[in-house]
Amino acid sequence: MTRRRQIYEGKAKILYEGPEPGTIIQYFKDDATAFNAEKKGTINGKGVINNRISEHVFTRLAQIGIPTHFIRRLNMREQLVRQVEIIPIEVVVRNVAAGSICKRLGLEEGVQLPHTLIEYYFKDDALGDPLVSEEHIACFNWASPEEMQDMASMAIRINDFMAGMFAGIDIRLVDFKLEFGRIFDGDYSRVILADEISPDGCRLWDIKSGEKLDKDRFRRDLGGEEEAYQEVARRLGLLNGEDNGPGEVLDMDAHRGRMRGKSPKPTK
C-alpha cells in the first residue's frame, strides 16, 4: 500500500492528496492555536467533533444552494473535499461586538452591532493576518470584483442561515470566519466555500447564560473547551447516533477507548 502524499500541514488540519484528481482529504487535528500561533495546545477530541460539525453545516448550506468544497466525510477525522485555489482573504462576519473589533474600536464585548458587518483579513501568517479593505484587495488583485461580490453575498446568506440554525438550539452566533476557493472550468473559475465551519472559527454563546461555547475558552484560558465543543455537537443532534448519516456514530466515549494508547497520527 502506498502512503498518500501530504500536501500541506496547517495549524488545525493536514491536507492529503485525494483518491481522484481534483480531490483532497482534510484531516482534522486536535491541535489548537491562538494569537497567530503564539499560544499552542490541544483540545482532546476537537478534530473528531469539528469534522462532524463542519460536515453538518456544509451539508445544510449546500441544501440552501451555497456551493461548497465538501464531498463526504470519510471517517472520524477525515473528509473528502474538492481541491480549490484558496483565495488569500479571511472573510469575517460579525453580528455582535467581540474579540479584535472590541480592541480596535473600543467597543464593549456583547453589544449587538447596528447591522451585520463583513471584514476582510489578508491571509498571511508572517504579517499576522492584517485587516484590509476592499480597496487593498482590488489594488493587489487578491480577488476580482466579481469574486468579492460572490463572497460577500454568500457570507450574508450563510450568516442568515447559521444565525437561525444556532438560535434554534439556544446559541447566539456572535461572529465567524469563512474561507473561499476557486475552482477552474476551462478559462472560467468560480468561487465556492472552503476550509471548515466549527467552534474553532466561530463565536458561539449560550443565549440564556452567555456562556462561551467556542475557541475563546482556549484563547482566554477559561477551561472546559472539550465540553464546550461537545455541547455544540450535542445540541446540533450529532452525538450518540442522532442524524449521523453515512459513517460511524460519533460516540466520544467509545472513540476515547479506541484511541487510548494509539498514536493520533493519520494512518493509511
Counting contacts by CB under 6 A, is residue 195 touching ligand TMP? no
Buried b (16+ CB within 10 A) or exposed e, 207-244: eeeeebbbbbbbbeeeeebbebbbbbbbbbebbeeeeb
Using CB distances below 5 to 8 A depending on partner kind, what does residue 197 bind out of ligand ASP, ligand TMP, none? none
Q: How are beta strands 112-122 and 131-132 bridged, if at all?
A: antiparallel
Single out the segment in contact with ligand ASP by CB under 6 A; choices: 18-26, 33-41, 228-236, 237-245: 33-41
Name the nearest CA neighbour of 206 among 182, 174, 241, 184. 174
* In the complex, least distance from residue 218 CB atom to ligand ASP, rounded to whole angstroms: 9
Asked whether the CA dihedral 124, 129, 135, 137 is positive or negative, the reply is positive
Counting contacts by CB under 6 A, is residue 34 touching ligand ASP? yes
* In the complex, least distance from residue 211 CB atom to ligand ASP, rounded to whole angstroms: 19
Using CB distances below 5 to 8 A depending on partner kind, what does residue 37 bind out of ligand ASP, ligand TMP, none? ligand ASP
Name the nearest CA neighbour of 120 among 97, 79, 151. 151
* In the complex, least distance from residue 39 CB atom to ligand ASP, rounded to whole angstroms: 7
Counting contacts by CB under 6 A, is residue 59 touching ligand TMP? no
User: Three cell numbers at 154?
Assistant: 454568500
Query: According to CB under 6 A, which one of 13, 56, 172, 215 is a site residue for ligand ASP?
Result: 215
Using CB distances below 5 to 8 A depending on partner kind, what does residue 55 bind out of ligand ASP, ligand TMP, none? none
E strand segments, 74-127: 78-82, 85-86, 89-96, 112-122
* Site for ligand TMP, residues 101 to 120, rule: CB under 6 A: 101
Query: According to CB under 6 A, which one of 61, 197, 202, 238 is a site residue for ligand TMP?
Result: 202
| 265 alpha carbon, distance to own chain's centre | 21
User: Three cell numbers at 122?
Assistant: 489578508
Contacts with ligand TMP by CB under 6 A lie at: 92, 99-101, 129, 175-177, 201-203
Contacts with ligand ASP by CB under 6 A lie at: 11, 33-37, 215, 219
